[in-house]
Amino acid sequence: MRLDRRRFVNACTAAGMASPLLPGILYTLAAQAQEAAGAGQAAGLAKITPEMIDRAAELAGVGPFTAAQKQRMLDGLNQQRGAYAEIRALHLPNSVPPAYVFHPQPAAKAGGGPNCESAAGPAAKATAAASFVGGAAAASPRLEDLAFATIGELAPLVRERKITSLALTQMYIARLKRYDPLLHFVITLTEERAIAQARAADAEIAAGHYRGPLHGIPWGAKDLLAVKGYPTTWGAGGFEQQSFDYDATVVQRLDAAGAVLVAKLTLGALAMGDKWFGGRTRNPWNPAQGSSGSSAGPASAVAAGCVGFAIGSETLGSISSPSTRCGCTGLRPSFGLVPRTGAMALSWTMDKLGPICRSVDDCALVLAAIAGPDGKDPSAASVDFHWNPDFDWRTLRAGYLKNQFEPPAPLKPAQPAPQETGAEKKKREEARAAAEAAHARRVYDRRYALAALAKLRSMGVNLMPVELPKLPWDAMTPLLTAEAAAAFDELTMTGRDRLLTEQGPDDWPNQFRIARFYPAVEYIQANRARTLGVEQIAALFRQVEIIVTPTTGEQLIATNLSGSPALILPNGLRGPDAPPPPKIDTGESDDIGGPGTPVSLTFLAGLYQDAKLAAFARAYQQATGFEKLHPKLA
């Protein structure tokens, strides 16, 4: 089964519904309606009606909802009952606990796990990071020639004072201003702060105080990270003037590393998609398309050569998706490796912060600076990212998700409904044409996935076929929606959700309303199923240490639920013979592509094995060189 990010979110919608009082309210009301209709017990529950929603909402203390809101909720509410059955069919024994752990002790004492990489102090981290900085890019009289240089190429130039941080910062700010009207990736330029930081970096380096490879390198922050003195909008209407009087931990750590924050970059409203209150962030390879999301601005700005690197976040695809669409290298760290203090919470049990860069080396440099507990985020594990550039990646056992590399299943013919109207026929034919076009794109893109396996084998990698544990992963995704609805409870309860730009059935306002009807018991049952998932994914990574997979697919749900790290790499460009993209980018697929657009490949590893993951993915990247490709902007 092939999945993409929008369908994952749809699954959240379909599975985030019923009632805190179900079966006490909606179940009972539906059963009563069935009995009144004389349907009989064997026929199943009657469909939930708008009147039932009114009655359940009143008892639950939510709403009232408008007629249009209730109409959008109905399909999801009726479909949800099937999702419960999948988890109930597991017959979870009493010994299986929920997948979350409560730490009553102070956050500073929260422990890590037995499978952790060794921690290293700041000095050790800086030394390790400095040891794998690449050779400097050739000094050029035209500074903008360095716009697409890696951190490893820029750092020696800054350290040796062949270029100044101030000049580099001014160049990137100028590019942000130049390309923002086309790509819409900036929410707030932090120009005053950046110029002061760059001048301070130049002064320190001139005085012999070099902080490491990020010193003087300009970067951009997804605008869910708090930065004192600037708005933190979360990309959402109604939050445009929101600000905090502190810096997020990640911002503090990058400040300490000497990096220069030049902009707060876009995200889809409240971390969904690429549409925000100011418009839609665009893909530099094809500005007619969105950049995907929700780390829309970070990926677009990195791909367009407008920042040296960026920080994004992922809950269920928000680093993976835009990195795929924009041709970046994205690292989604193990859950808990990077503290989220000062970042917007969408899902406390799934949110992760990570770098979006031009290369694996760059991602490793940035992760080395931001990883490790801060004593404030109770989910942050007592582990660190300890990179060894000399690690022999050939010693790692590698596998590939076999079914994800197989040909797409042929399309089944759509049967016309009895007495089909002309409008219904037109709709069916349009859906069929869209499905056929999507199928053709999947068939075309498969050649890149197969070429990646062939390349790895030519590098001496003995790839073992593996499969994901067979669990109802989709049915666990309501955990995200329920937590997100709790995180934005006031938005729904006050009606301020109407200020958000997108108001469709799959968008947050409707999903938050639906999630109000997700039973607490079912939330706990899904967490217990998640415990099985965590255990079985860990067992999979005892068989193999690295897994190669296409970026889309069920693995995206499974590994986000299990907290496993992922590295998303550009894997070439589609040729002129590629199927054309749809005329309208609906946001429902990351792989709409078209000629001249990037494809991606993902590498996975076990929890807290981020350094081994980076070593393996780095070897593939160095053998292919796809990270050197960049869009040709006017």
pLDDT for res 428? 86
pLDDT for res 400? 98
Given a contact cutoff of 8 angstroms between Cβ atoms, the answer to whether 265 and 326 are in contact is no
- The Cα 95–Cα 223 span in angstroms is 42
Mean pLDDT, residues 42-66:
77
Given a contact cutoff of 8 angstroms between Cβ atoms, the answer to whether 532 and 471 are in contact is yes
Burial class (CB in 10 A: 0-12, 13-18, 19+), 592: buried
Listed range (169-178, 307-316, 384-393, 555-564) with the worst mean pLDDT: 384-393
- pLDDT tier, 137 (very low <50, low <70, confident <90, very high otherwise): low
Mean pLDDT, residues 279-308:
97
DSSP string, 558-625: HHHHHT--EEEEEEEE--TTSPPPPSS--SS-S----TT-EEEEEEEE-TT-HHHHHHHHHHHHHHH-
- pLDDT tier, 90 (very low <50, low <70, confident <90, very high otherwise): confident
Mean pLDDT, residues 476-497:
91
Indicate whether 26 pLDDT > 80.
no
- The Cα 115–Cα 192 span in angstroms is 43
Q: Domain 124-391+609-625 belongs to what topology? A: Amidase signature (AS) enzymes (3.90.1300)
Compute the CA torsion angle 290, 293, 299, 301 (nearest 10 deg): 60
Count of alpha carbons within 13 angstroms of residue 8, beta-carbon side: 30
Reduced to 3 states (helix: H, G, I; strand: E, B; else coil), residue 538 is helix
Domain boundaries, the chain: 5-89+473-524, 124-391+609-625
The CA R_g of the chain, rounded to the nearest whole Å, is 24
- The Cα 61–Cα 514 span in angstroms is 14
Spacing of C-alpha 209 from chain mean position? 36
Mean pLDDT, residues 207-228:
98
Listed range (27-41, 48-62, 187-201, 325-339) with the worst mean pLDDT: 27-41
Count of alpha carbons within 13 angstroms of residue 28, beta-carbon side: 9
pLDDT for res 108? 41
Indicate whether 395 pLDDT > 70.
yes
pLDDT for res 101? 55
Mean pLDDT, residues 352-366:
98
pLDDT for res 28? 43
Mean pLDDT, residues 72-90:
77
User: What number of residues does the chain have?
Assistant: 634
Indicate whether 125 pLDDT > 70.
no
- The Cα 408–Cα 299 span in angstroms is 28
Indicate whether 96 pLDDT > 70.
no
Listed range (80-84, 334-338, 356-360) with the worst mean pLDDT: 80-84
- The Cα 445–Cα 442 span in angstroms is 5
pLDDT for res 38? 44
What average pLDDT is seen over the chain? 87
Indicate whether 448 pLDDT > 60.
yes
Mean pLDDT, residues 179-196:
98
pTM (two decimals):
0.86
pLDDT for res 366? 98
Indicate whether 37 pLDDT > 90.
no
Indicate whether 560 pLDDT > 90.
yes
Mean pLDDT, residues 82-111:
59
Indicate whether 11 pLDDT > 80.
no
Which residue would you say has higher pLDDT here, 141 or 398? 398
CA-based nearest residue to 212, from 136, 139, 150, 133: 133
**Residue 106 backbone phi and psi in degrees, to 5:** -55, 150
Spacing of C-alpha 59 from chain mean position? 36
pLDDT above 70 as % of the chain: 84
β-bridge partners, 400: 465, 548
Mean pLDDT, residues 138-143:
65
Element (H, E) at 330: strand 329-332
- pLDDT tier, 110 (very low <50, low <70, confident <90, very high otherwise): very low
